[in-house]
Amino acid sequence: MLCFRIPHRRERTRFSKGARTAVSGAVSLRRDEQGAALLEFAIALPLLVVFVVGIFDFSGAFNQKQKIEQAAQEGAVVAGAQPTNDIASSTSPDSLKPVVTAVFNSLAASGVVPSGTCTPPGTASGPTGVAWTYTISGCPDSLLITINRGSVAGSGAPGSGSPATVGTIVTVQYPYHWRFNSVIQLLIPGASYAATTQVTESATVHNQI
């Protein structure tokens, strides 16, 4: 004959308390895990934001550098076809104004400078030898275009095989404003650095006239 022993009431009470303790411990452990996950996320989030903004910012700077380089090349092509008979003593030769306009139009078309808030040729300074610098303000920053009409390449020495040629160097300078400075403070409160970099590119072409 099979006999079943009914647990004493005191034993059933002891079992119930043990189960409740185990369940309470599991809930507490889960809460600790959730708290740790939230803490890890709070620590990782600023790093992730800085990383993403840094990638975006450096790609923007490189893109602007490429556009400025293209504008300098387009300006040099125009400059090479301009006459040089008016650069003797003029403070702003007429032959250089199409060069400045070509550089400005290239930058405006690529979105580096806004159209309508500033216009070429701006203010000319020089000459320094046979080089002039044009400053176009309000773009909203200042756009600097330097045109050197007397760049000499080659030694020109007899028998050197390197004839001297005269060309034009067009140098374009425009600042890039970094966005990275606004998020670096997430990692280091109060930290700052120069958030503007002057991007400068040059192009050279032989004078055709």
Domain map (residue ranges) of the chain: 36-206
Encoded amino acid at 53, one letter: V
Q: Which long-range contacts (CB under 8 A, 24 or more apart) does 28-35 make?
A: none
* Residue located via tokens 């203010």: 123
Residues 6+ apart with CB under 8 A from 89: none
- Report which secondary-structure segment, H or E, holds 101: helix 97-109
Indicate the pTM of the whole model: 0.72
**pLDDT, tens only, 58-84:** 899 999 999 999 999 999 999 989 988
Q: How many CA atoms lie within 13 A of 144 on its CB side?
A: 15
Q: What would you report as the CA-atom Rg of the chain, rounded to the nearest whole angstrom?
A: 35
Residues 6+ apart with CB under 8 A from 101: 120, 121
CB 168 within 8 A of CB 151: yes
Position 85 scores a pLDDT of 85
Position 19 scores a pLDDT of 52
Encoded amino acid at 9, one letter: R
The residue among 149, 178, 181, 182 whose CA lies nearest residue 166 is 149
CB 195 within 8 A of CB 184: no
- 140 three-class SS: coil
Residue 128 neighbours by CB distance under 10 Å: 10
Mean pLDDT (10-residue bins), the chain, 209 residues:
53 52 55 66 71 82 95 95 82 91 95 89 89 94 94 58 75 90 67 80 88
Tokens of 164: 């001297």
Position 10 scores a pLDDT of 53
Position 15 scores a pLDDT of 46
